[in-house]
Structure 1
Amino acid sequence: MNKKIIYVILMALFATFSFMFTTQKVKADIDGVTVTPLIGDSDISDRFQIIGKPNSTRTLKISLSNFGIRKIRLRIVPTNATTSMDGKIVYTDNVKSGQYGLKYAFADMTKAQTISLMAGKTKDVSFKVKLPSGKIDNLILGGFNIYALESSVSGNANVPVWITDSNKPVGGIVTLHNLALDVMNKKPHIIVNLQNKELGMMKNVIVHMTVKRKSWLDRFNLGDKTMIADLTYPKVAPNSRIPVDFDQNTTPIKAGTYVVKGAARSGKATWTFHKTYTITQDQANNINKRCKGLIYNKTTTYILIVCVLVSLIFLIFWAIWYSGRS
């Protein structure tokens, strides 16, 4: 029998027995890799849940299997949950204590690890988690972000770790954090960052937001249009930003004063926002030069040219009239 066929059969059997005798796997978007949190006796099988006292230590184990045909190096990084633009809980950002009101960062409780995993092999990795010395008020939503170090292998897997002093559900509070600029797919974006500054997960957060650049052209109804966002975030992580994206497409970022207004609602709670931000010319230039296909609006230039021409015509007629009187 061909060696390649034998290898495929063995790998299929390996995958079958692994599925039968392990706990529920975490969805992994790394080609050929499965990730399984070894929970033990618990009804919860897709995450670790720690209810512990301050200064206590827990050991968490994750099983990783390589079903590919090549050796792979995996990086396992502890971090805190953040909220994506489409309202999902993600663990891809490097979160530090102090961000968005976060008192304790999961990255400070345990260390990142790098492992090498041969083709067709499984390895269990242990992490000692040292809980903070202070009281944990409600919920710390940490997790492990797992990704391959090889550039040819994309994707990542996440293993959530919920740390609490009780099982009581808690809510959050939404406030306005800042206005930021970014480049995505070589297009400029204005992002209004709200934040959940509390240690409580939120669900179904509805956001209505407007952004308007102030201009003297507003008097003639020729200024920039008001940008409007109506979004729903199914889930919002504790102590995380809530990004409200305004995709500019082919419109370049303009320097000036921007007025941000809006409201967020979750259940019966409602929060309103109204603040003014300034985008400098240097900030605008830094974003625009990294973008492609921008179309610049020349309305202001045309109006100035018309004003200059009208002024020149007026001066010419005035000079003719004045010379005729003398």
Structure 2
Amino acid sequence: MSFVVFDQETAKADIDGITVTPLIEDDSSGVTDRFQIVGKANSERTLRISIGNFGIKRLRLRIQPTNATTSMDGKIVYKNVVRAGQYGLQYSFSDMTKPQTITIKPNSTKDLTFKVKLPKGKINGLILGGFNVYDISGNSSGNANVPVWITDDNKPVGGILSLRNLGLDVIDKKPHMIVNLQNKEPGMMKNVIIHMTVKRKSWLDRFNLGPKEMVADLTYPKVAPNSRIPVDFDQNTTPIEAGTYVVKGAARSGKATWTFHKTYKITQDQANDINKRCKGLIYNKTTTYILIVCVLVSLIFLIFWAIWYSGRS
């Protein structure tokens, strides 16, 4: 089997002054955006990366092997720690090679070598790993990544979507409700179109005064193998409310389609935990106002009934 890497093209780097360049050994495939390994089980491969610091600050960088995940905007990212077994992942790239930490001075470069030991068992489909490069010195933000594709037979494999759960998060001090789909197959997906709705059940629904249905229509240009696909519902200034939520949706990729329908319960403790970490929330007083009106109507009724009853005595 052959081992292919791309030619000396700088990988995308969002760290100021930093360049990350995979070093070529064989460019016969013409692949220019990733390392590619097509190899036998239990074999070893060597990857070499050159990192340059053209900034004015001394940096301490971490080069962390991990697996690809899917971001909310449908991009392949390498920022999260991923372990074998998550989302059906057969083998984790972090188990095949070790991370490295380097200190690099301004106007200097360092070449790094990574020994990659392939799993003993057969690799099904595609393992989409990569190196996440980020600053741990606190002098710079952002990250760079170098993808590493690992396959046994180089045959394309598709993906299958399923509904995983309904989650809560705080992003930029705003509450977010996130429907998590998942691709548990070892195949990358492209142009995944998703329509998703979330609705909290309420007794006010019978009067058409209940919470509005939240709708998301999104297109994910790429979905990583064995990864979560987050569908984000930004609540902005609306706090999370406890209750039963109905999640419905459909997804399409090419000719394949999937439908989803499930209910989830959010407890008061879960809602409070999210809301207390947010700023500028505006609470809906509709229920309070309705109860006040009901009390007032009841009092008026009782007063009129008392007047009527006393008039008969």
Cα distance in 2, alignment partners of residues 317 and 152 from structure 1: 74
Cα distance in 1, alignment partners of residues 85 and 305 from structure 2: 66
Amino acid at match of 1:69: I
Determine what percentage of the aligned residue pairs are the same residue: 79
* Counterpart for residue 119 of structure 2: 132
The 8 Å contact of residues 57 and 139 in structure 2, kept in 1 or not, is answered as no
Cα distance in 1, alignment partners of residues 206 and 33 from structure 2: 57
Amino acid at match of 1:285: N
Equivalent in 222, 226, 229 of residue 235 of structure 1? 222
* Counterpart for residue 179 of structure 1: 166
* Counterpart for residue 48 of structure 2: 61
Superposition deviation, residue 87 in structure 1: 0.7
The 8 Å contact of residues 192 and 220 in structure 2, kept in 1 or not, is answered as yes
* Counterpart for residue 9 of structure 2: 24
Superposition deviation, residue 96 in structure 1: 1.2
Equivalent in 3, 12, 18 of residue 33 of structure 1? 18
* Counterpart for residue 104 of structure 2: 117
Cα distance in 2, alignment partners of residues 68 and 309 from structure 1: 70
Cα distance in 2, alignment partners of residues 319 and 113 from structure 1: 83
Q: Deviations over 1:188-225 (max 9, x none)?
A: 11110111110000000000011111000000000011
Equivalent in 300, 303, 315 of residue 302 of structure 2? 315
Unpaired stretches in structure 2, ≥5 consecutive residues: 1-6
Root mean square deviation of aligned Cα:
1.2
Pairing 1:212-291 to 2, within 5 Å after superposition: 212-291=199-278
Q: Secondary structure at the match of 2:241?
A: coil
Cα distance in 1, alignment partners of residues 95 and 106 from structure 2: 32
Amino acid at match of 1:278: K
* Counterpart for residue 6 of structure 1: none
* Counterpart for residue 7 of structure 1: none
Cα distance in 1, alignment partners of residues 286 and 121 from structure 2: 58
Cα distance in 1, alignment partners of residues 67 and 175 from structure 2: 27
The 8 Å contact of residues 214 and 258 in structure 1, kept in 2 or not, is answered as yes
The 8 Å contact of residues 191 and 246 in structure 1, kept in 2 or not, is answered as yes
* Counterpart for residue 148 of structure 2: 161
Q: Secondary structure at the match of 2:74?
A: coil
Cα distance in 2, alignment partners of residues 172 and 53 from structure 1: 24
Tell me which protein shows more helix as a share of its residues. 1
Superposition deviation, residue 70 in structure 1: 2.8
Q: Secondary structure at the match of 1:100?
A: helix
The 8 Å contact of residues 39 and 47 in structure 1, kept in 2 or not, is answered as no
The 8 Å contact of residues 88 and 233 in structure 1, kept in 2 or not, is answered as yes
Is 1:147 the equivalent of 2:138?
A: no
TM-score, normalised to structure 1, is: 0.91
Is 1:299 the equivalent of 2:258?
A: no
Equivalent in 186, 189, 199 of residue 199 of structure 1? 186
Cα distance in 1, alignment partners of residues 80 and 117 from structure 2: 21
* Counterpart for residue 37 of structure 2: 50
Unpaired stretches in structure 1, ≥5 consecutive residues: 1-21
Q: Higher mean Cα deviation, 36-45 or 23-32?
A: 36-45
* Counterpart for residue 80 of structure 1: 67
Amino acid at match of 2:185: E
The 8 Å contact of residues 37 and 149 in structure 2, kept in 1 or not, is answered as yes
Superposition deviation, residue 307 in structure 1: 0.9
Q: Secondary structure at the match of 1:36?
A: strand
Q: Secondary structure at the match of 2:165?
A: strand
Cα distance in 2, alignment partners of residues 39 and 174 from structure 1: 36
The 8 Å contact of residues 59 and 139 in structure 2, kept in 1 or not, is answered as no
Q: Deviations over 1:52-78 (max 9, x none)?
A: 122111111111111122321110000
Q: Secondary structure at the match of 2:57?
A: coil
The 8 Å contact of residues 37 and 45 in structure 1, kept in 2 or not, is answered as no
Q: Higher mean Cα deviation, 197-206 or 184-193?
A: 184-193
Q: Deviations over 1:80-134 (max 9, x none)?
A: 0001111110001111112111121111111111011122221111111111122
Report the count of equivalent residues.
Answer: 305
The 8 Å contact of residues 39 and 45 in structure 1, kept in 2 or not, is answered as no
Q: Higher mean Cα deviation, 282-291 or 310-319?
A: 310-319
